[in-house]
Amino acid sequence: MREFMDEVSRFLSYYDLIFIGRAFLYTALLSLVGSCCGFVVGCGLAIVRIRRLVPFAPLRWLATAYVEIFRRIPFLVKLMLVLFTFQFMGVDVPMFVIAAITVALAASAFCAENIRAGLESIHVTQWEAAEALNMGGFSILWRVVLPQAWRVIIPPSMTYSVGLVKSTAIASQLGVPELTYAAKVLNQRGFSVVLCFGTILVLYFILCWPLTLLAAYLEKRLAPPGHR
């Protein structure tokens, strides 16, 4: 026990704490940038897949193919695909950017399907009634459909973002200095596995728990009055 406490005191040195803090920020930033970019792209893909808004069928098929393919590819495979694509093109890109693009690809495919399901959950009579008032397609989407669809879209999207935070651990394979990478480095410096990965476990929990609470709150807040 005394040896473990001595190890903890060495582990809590200024430089190690700074190293872990930077890794925490890298993980949070990677998750935030990737999720936000993915959500924006996913919104675009979902809109493209709506026949009432985009009558050009080949474009809808292309968007559907993108979503179906990237939803079924493991995160590590997507990571390697992005990495080797840039290497093949001869473009020197920081590993953090490669990881962020991969997170965005994963998030965009899920969000596109989630948003599409939310939009299509609104009964077709809502569209028809708005069209009878001479409203345009995108005006109907923004003023009529989306306000009702958010209750279907937001809760699962928030839940998925928690899983996406945990998926960023795979970026350590590229040397991105996020939390899992920091745990590996500290373990190689001589600290025990339990101490290194136990600390990272707590930090992942600190990062994910607020998102879980927010998802639960939004699910309750956006539910119909009779289901709250």
Cα gap 180→105, rounded to integer Å: 21
**CA-wise closest residue to 114 among 72, 142, 156:** 156
- In order, the DSSP letters of 175-194 are T--SHHHHHHHHHHTT--HH
pLDDT tens for each residue of 92-122: 999 999 999 999 999 999 999 999 988 888 8
Q: What integer pLDDT is reported at residue 226 of this predicted model?
A: 55
Q: Are the beta carbons of 59 and 48 closer than 8 angstroms?
A: yes
Q: How many C-alpha atoms does 182 have within 13 Å on its Cβ side? A: 27
CA angle 53-154-137, nearest 5°?
15
Give the predicted TM-score (pTM) of the model. 0.87
pLDDT tens digits in sequence order for the chain, 228 residues long = 677 677 778 888 888 899 999 999 999 999 999 889 999 999 999 999 988 888 888 999 999 999 999 999 999 999 999 999 999 998 899 999 999 999 999 999 999 999 998 888 888 888 888 888 888 888 888 888 888 888 888 888 888 888 889 888 999 888 898 999 999 999 998 888 999 999 999 999 999 999 888 888 887 877 666 555
In angstroms, the CA 186 to CA 115 distance is 41
The pLDDT of residue 127: 83
Please state the separation of Cα 82 from the chain's center in Å: 16
The CATH architecture to which 2-227 belongs is: Orthogonal Bundle (1.10)
SS3 223: coil
Give pLDDT, residue 228: 53
Exposure class string for 78-104: b at 16+ Cβ within 10 A, else e: bbeebbeeeeeeeeeeeebebbbbbbb
CA distances from 185 to 16, 150, 167, 180, 204 (A): 10, 42, 19, 9, 17
The domain spans of the chain are: 2-227
Q: What is the pLDDT of residue 227?
A: 53
Q: What is the pLDDT of residue 24?
A: 95
